[in-house]
Amino acid sequence: MAEARTVQPGDRTLAYVTLMPSAAILILLAGVPTITVFAIAMQDVGLGQTSGPFVGLENYVWALTSPDFYGALLNTFVWVFGSVTIEMCLGLGIALLLHRNFLGRGVARAILLAPYLVPTIVAVLVWRYMFHDIVGIVNYLLIELGVIAKPLLWLSTTKWAMVSVIIVGVWKFFPFVVLAILGILQSIPQEQYEAARIDGASPFQQFWRITLPYVLPVFILTALLRTIWTFHKFEIIYLLTGGGPLDATTTLPILVYFKGFVDFELGRAAAIAVLTFLILTALIAAYFLLMRRAEARQ
């Protein structure tokens, strides 16, 4: 691609002029804020203030010795691990199903991908209605089917709140995995399967030897991407449980929000945000590394 580009007099100017507005906005809205948040994390910001005296690493020390931080960290891992594992398995399964030929495939595809496009607030409203203790359909169906004897308090008990949040998260976001894997499945040359069939390969061998090697790199990249995004998801948990009951679903982003905009301790909130960011950086670095390797192989 690079050698196909034409470089003519004036091109360089045009190149920079067209890129300038994007660069400026990214610097102002992402670059500067990221630096600022490190600065805020080193200030003792008082109630209702936006800046304060420099206190060095005090906010980090507070965070790293606070049980709230470790509680949120643990909840984040449960939330991320639970959601991503189920999303990946479900997504792979559904993608393999949708890749086959069957009657009504277009309709099935549209319905199965729909949750991804439903706004989060809508997903939350519907599931809150369905999870309702008394009139909710989920409890009704489970009792009718004999799975449970009496209604479960889905969103308001510490035991079930995380499960509920993961269910809603998986429902909303697994179609992303389906889309990613379906895309790669469609790119596998059909001749490879024909050749394998002629050679007498069983369906399982075909999956193991042809499908899997194609799917695996995308599968791993998608899992990483889902991990990154699930890690800093805020609104779905906030709107379903508000981080409760008793902090049972308070993940790191929820903790940042409460520290920053309910307790109005911007400095401490920033310190937690930076720590969250550092954990994420490792994941993002892994993502870029794998992406570069996948591109190099093509």
49-78 residues in contact with other proteins (CB under 8 A) are: 50-51
Q: Where does this chain touch other proteins (CB under 8 A) — which range of 54-62, 65-73, 153-161, 227-235?
A: 227-235
Of the candidate spans 53-61, 80-88, 93-101, 152-160, the one that interacts with other proteins by CB under 8 A turns out to be: 93-101
Can residue 99 be called a binding residue for other proteins (CB under 8 A)? no
Q: Rounded to an integer, what distance in angstroms lies between the CA atom of residue 145 and that of residue 235?
A: 32
Size (the chain), residues: 298
Mark the segment that binds other proteins (CB under 8 A) among 81-89, 155-163, 205-213, 224-232: 224-232
User: Distance between CA atoms of 125 and 15, rounded to whole angstroms?
Assistant: 46
Beta carbon of residue 24, minimum distance to other proteins (angstroms, whole number) = 9
Residues 130, 152, 162, 248: which binds other proteins (CB under 8 A)? Answer: 130
The answer to whether 131 and 152 have CB atoms below 8 angstroms apart is no
The distance between the two most distant Cα atoms of the chain, rounded to a whole number of Å, is: 78
**Chosen residue from 61, 89, 137, 246 binding other proteins by CB under 8 A:** 137
One-letter identity of residue 192: Q
Record the tokens describing residue 298, joined without a space: 């093509």
DSSP code of residue 270: H
Q: Which of residues 238-297 bind other proteins (CB under 8 A)?
A: 238-239, 252-253, 256-257, 260-261, 266, 269-270, 273-274, 276-277, 280, 284, 287-288, 291, 294-295
End-to-end CA distance of the chain: 14
Tokens of 79: 């939330």
How far apart are alpha carbons 80 and 237 in whole angstroms?
Answer: 12
Q: Which of 35, 78, 29 is nearest to 273 (CA)?
A: 35
Q: Between 248 and 252, whose beta carbon lies closer to other proteins?
A: 252
Q: In this chain, which stretch among 56-64, 73-81, 179-187, 206-214 interacts with other proteins, using CB under 8 A?
A: 179-187
* Residue pair 54/43 in contact by the 8 Å Cβ criterion: yes
Give dist(CA 123, CA 233) in Å, integer: 14
Asked if 100 interacts with other proteins (CB under 8 A), we say yes
Size of the site for other proteins (CB under 8 A): 100
Question: Would you give the DSSP letter of residue 46?
Answer: P
Out of 53, 56, 119, 213, which residue is the one contacting other proteins (CB under 8 A)?
119
> Phi/psi of residue 43, each to 5°?
-120, 155
Q: Which range in 53-61, 77-85, 205-213, 219-227 contacts other proteins by CB under 8 A?
A: 219-227
**Any contact of residue 157 with other proteins (CB under 8 A)?**
no
Work out whether 208 is an interface residue with other proteins (CB under 8 A): no
Answer yes or no whether residue 12 interacts with other proteins by CB under 8 A.
Answer: yes
- Provide the minimum distance between the beta carbon of 191 and other proteins in the complex, in angstroms, as a whole number: 21
Which of 36, 56, 195, 293 is close enough to bind other proteins by CB under 8 A?
36
Distance CA 75, CA 71 (A): 6
